[in-house]
C-alpha cells in the first residue's frame, strides 16, 4: 500500500451550537488547516499543536469582546498581533527575556506623576562625617521631573545647632548642580529633616550626597540590599561604592508614567545651562609659587576668561576636573605674535616686566570643577585678578 498523500482538510461548521471542539494534530506534516466559524456561539475551541514545525496560523476574531491570553515559553518567537475596532484585554508576561515596552495612550500617560524616591530599611545605624567626607545615594533612572525637597534621616548630639548640606548631581563624581542646607537643632533626636529645592530636574539619573558641619551630626543608613551607597573622603573628587543605603528620600512632582531608556549615539536637545560671572578679586601670588586664585564647582564650560596681572612673567593654568586643560604666559604669547585681535587668546595689553591683560575665549568643558591657577616666576610677590564667565548645567 502506498503512502497516504498530503491533503488540505477544510472544516466548515455552519448553523450549529458547539460546546467543545478539539483538534489534535501530532507527528504529522500538515499543509493548510482552515477553520471557519461564522455567526455562531462557540464554547471552547482548543487547538493543541505539539512538537511540530508550523508555517502560519491565522486567527481572525471579529465583532466580539475578547479576553486573549498568550503564553510563549522557552522558544524564540515573533508574534505579530493586530487588533482593530475591538475591546480587548491583552496580558503579556515575560519570563527571563528582554524588555517589552508598551506605551499606553491613556489619561495616565499625559497627566503628571508624583512619587517619592526612596530605598531604605526600618532600623538605622549612624554615620559620622569629617570635614572632607561625603555620603551619597544614587538613583540611576526615572528621576526627570520637579524636585520638591530631599529628606535626610539625621540626629545631633552636640549642644549647638549644626548643619547638613545636600547636593544634587546628575552622576556619581560629577559637579553638583543645586545645593540646600538643613539645620539640625542642638541635641536633636533621630528624625527626617528636609532640604527644600523646588527645582526642575532635566536628567534621568540623580546622585544625592551630603556633607556635615561637624562629626556630632549623625547620618542614618542601613546595610540591607539593594545597595546604593557611596562615600568620598576628598570632598567629592573621588567616590567609592559601599554595601549600605543612606537614608535619603526625594519628593518628586511632574514626572511621567515612565520614560524609554536609551543608549548609544543620539541626536539630543542640549540640556539648559545658566551663565554666571565669577571674580577672584585682587590676589597676591607669592614669589616662585603657584596659587589657585579661582574655583568653580559644577558642570559646564568656560565662555570667557579675563586676566589682569601686574607682572609679565606670571603663567596662567586652567584645570578642568583636576586635569591641565591649558597653560599660557603673556611673554610667550607676545613672542609668538599674539595681539588684541588674535582668535581664541587675545593679548589685549603687554609690558615686558610689567602689567599685562589677556582675554581667553577657548571653550573648556568640565563635569565637576574648574580651577584657575597662577604661577609667579619673579623673586617678589605680584598681584593678579581673574574674571570668569561660565555656562553651568541646570
Query: pTM for the whole thing?
Result: 0.66
**What pLDDT, on the 0 to 100 scale, is given for residue 273?**
74
Overall average pLDDT of the 119-144 stretch: 96
Per-residue model confidence as pLDDT tens digits over 233-269: 999 999 999 999 999 999 999 998 877 666 666 666 5
Tell me phi and psi for residue 379, to 5 degrees. -85, 0
State the cell numbers at 118: 526612596
Alpha carbon distance 283, 346 (integer Å): 22
Q: How confident is the model at residue 332 (pLDDT cuts 50, 70, 90)?
A: very high
Element (H, E) at 87: strand 87-91
Express as a percent the part of the chain with pLDDT over 90. Answer: 62
**What pLDDT, on the 0 to 100 scale, is given for residue 28?**
60
Express as a percent the part of the chain with pLDDT over 70. Answer: 69
The lowest-confidence range among 23-32, 251-260, 295-304, 385-394 is: 23-32
Q: Return the sign of the alpha-carbon dihedral for residues 347, 350, 353, 359.
A: negative
**What pLDDT, on the 0 to 100 scale, is given for residue 257?**
80
Domains of the chain as residue ranges with CATH: 9-102 (no CATH), 113-255 (2.60.120.820), 273-393 (2.60.120.380)
Taking 60 as the threshold, does the pLDDT of residue 104 lie above it? no
Taking 70 as the threshold, does the pLDDT of residue 36 lie above it? no
Residues 361-383, buried b or exposed e (16+ Cβ, 10 A)? eeebebbbbbbbbbbbbeeeebb
**What pLDDT, on the 0 to 100 scale, is given for residue 88?**
58
**What pLDDT, on the 0 to 100 scale, is given for residue 99?**
53
Alpha carbon distance 305, 296 (integer Å): 12
Q: Please tell me whether residue 79 adopts helix, strand or coil conformation.
A: coil
Compare 371 and 272 and report the one with higher pLDDT: 371
Average pLDDT, the chain: 84
Taking 90 as the threshold, does the pLDDT of residue 328 lie above it? yes
Per-residue model confidence as pLDDT tens digits over 158-217: 999 999 999 999 999 988 999 999 999 999 999 999 999 999 998 999 999 999 999 999
Taking 60 as the threshold, does the pLDDT of residue 98 lie above it? no
**What pLDDT, on the 0 to 100 scale, is given for residue 70?**
61
State the cell numbers at 249: 528620600
Alpha carbon distance 341, 43 (integer Å): 88
Q: Where are the alpha helices (DSSP H) in 90-152?
A: 107-110
Q: Roughly how many angstroms between the first and final C-alpha of the chain, as a whole number?
A: 84
Q: How crowded is the C-beta side of 239, counted as CA atoms within 13 Å?
A: 22
**What pLDDT, on the 0 to 100 scale, is given for residue 310?**
96
State the cell numbers at 380: 617678589
Q: How confident is the model at residue 102 (pLDDT cuts 50, 70, 90)?
A: low
Residues paired with 324 in a beta bridge: 319
Alpha carbon distance 342, 337 (integer Å): 9
C-alpha distance from residue 68 to each of 17, 18, 27, 93 (Å): 21, 20, 27, 13
Alpha carbon distance 341, 29 (integer Å): 84
C-alpha distance from residue 366 to each of 273, 301, 361, 390 (Å): 13, 6, 15, 10
Among residues 205, 239, 240, 244, which one has the least CA distance to residue 228? 244
Taking 60 as the threshold, does the pLDDT of residue 7 lie above it? no
Per-residue model confidence as pLDDT tens digits over 356-383: 999 999 999 998 899 999 999 999 999 9
**What pLDDT, on the 0 to 100 scale, is given for residue 392?**
86
**What pLDDT, on the 0 to 100 scale, is given for residue 199?**
94
Residue 5: how many CB atoms within 10 A of its CB? 5
**What pLDDT, on the 0 to 100 scale, is given for residue 216?**
97
CB 368 within 8 A of CB 237: yes
Residue 41: how many CB atoms within 10 A of its CB? 9
Q: What is the CA radius of gyration of the chain?
A: 34
Per-residue model confidence as pLDDT tens digits over 279-320: 999 999 999 999 999 999 888 999 999 999 999 999 999 999
Alpha carbon distance 165, 316 (integer Å): 32
**What pLDDT, on the 0 to 100 scale, is given for residue 299?**
87
Compare 139 and 77 and report the one with higher pLDDT: 139
Q: Which residues contact 313 (CB under 8 A, 6 or more apart)?
A: 329, 330, 331, 353, 376, 377, 378
Q: What angle do CA 367, 372, 375 make, to 5 degrees?
A: 145
Alpha carbon distance 21, 13 (integer Å): 11
Overall average pLDDT of the 219-238 stretch: 96
Q: Return the sign of the alpha-carbon dihedral for residues 199, 203, 205, 208.
A: negative
Compare 175 and 116 and report the one with higher pLDDT: 116
Alpha carbon distance 167, 230 (integer Å): 13
State the cell numbers at 393: 548645567
Amino acid at each position: 500500500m502506498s503512502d497516504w498523500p498530503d491533503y488540505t482538510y477544510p472544516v466548515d461548521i455552519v448553523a450549529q451550537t458547539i460546546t467543545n471542539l478539539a483538534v489534535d494534530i501530532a507527528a504529522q506534516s500538515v499543509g493548510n488547516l482552515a477553520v471557519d466559524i461564522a455567526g455562531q456561539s462557540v464554547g471552547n475551541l482548543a487547538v493543541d499543536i505539539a512538537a511540530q514545525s508550523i508555517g502560519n496560523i491565522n486567527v481572525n476574531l471579529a465583532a466580539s469582546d475578547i479576553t486573549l491570553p498568550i503564553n510563549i515559553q522557552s522558544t524564540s518567537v515573533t508574534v505579530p498581533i493586530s487588533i482593530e475596532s475591538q475591546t480587548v484585554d491583552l496580558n503579556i508576561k515575560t519570563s527571563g527575556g528582554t524588555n517589552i515596552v508598551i506605551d499606553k495612550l491613556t489619561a495616565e500617560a499625559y497627566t503628571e506623576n508624583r512619587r517619592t524616591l526612596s530605598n531604605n530599611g526600618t532600623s538605622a545605624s549612624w554615620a559620622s562625617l569629617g570635614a572632607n567626607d561625603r555620603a551619597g545615594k544614587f538613583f540611576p533612572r526615572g528621576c526627570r521631573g520637579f524636585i520638591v525637597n530631599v529628606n535626610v534621616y539625621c540626629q545631633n548630639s552636640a549642644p549647638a545647632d549644626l548643619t547638613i548640606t545636600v547636593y544634587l548631581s546628575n552622576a556619581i563624581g560629577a559637579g553638583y548642580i543645586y545645593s540646600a542646607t538643613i539645620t539640625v537643632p542642638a541635641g536633636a533626636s533621630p528624625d527626617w529633616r528636609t532640604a527644600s529645592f523646588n527645582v526642575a530636574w532635566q536628567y534621568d539619573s540623580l546622585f544625592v550626597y551630603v556633607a556635615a558641619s561637624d562629626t556630632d551630626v549623625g547620618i542614618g543608613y542601613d546595610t540591607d540590599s539593594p545597595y546604593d551607597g557611596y562615600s568620598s573622603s576628598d570632598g567629592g573628587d573621588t567616590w567609592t561604592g559601599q554595601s549600605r543605603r543612606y537614608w535619603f528620600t526625594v519628593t518628586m512632582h511632574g514626572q511621567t508614567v515612565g520614560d524609554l531608556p536609551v543608549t548609544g549615539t543620539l541626536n539630543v536637545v542640549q540640556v539648559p545651562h545658566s551663565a554666571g560671572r565669577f571674580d577672584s578679586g585682587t590676589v597676591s601670588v607669592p614669589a616662585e609659587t603657584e596659587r589657585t586664585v579661582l574655583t568653580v564647582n559644577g558642570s559646564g564650560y568656560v565662555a570667557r576668561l579675563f586676566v589682569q596681572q601686574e607682572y609679565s612673567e606670571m603663567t596662567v593654568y586652567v584645570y578642568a576636573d583636576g586635569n591641565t586643560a591649558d597653560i599660557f604666559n603673556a611673554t610667550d604669547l607676545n613672542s609668538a605674535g599674539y595681539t588684541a585681535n588674535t582668535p581664541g587668546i587675545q593679548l589685549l595689553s603687554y609690558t615686558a616686566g610689567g602689567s599685562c591683560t589677556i582675554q581667553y575665549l577657548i571653550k573648556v568643558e568640565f563635569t565637576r570643577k574648574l580651577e584657575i591657577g597662577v604661577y609667579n616666576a619673579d623673586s617678589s610677590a605680584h598681584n593678579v585678578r581673574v574674571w570668569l564667565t561660565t555656562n553651568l548645567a541646570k
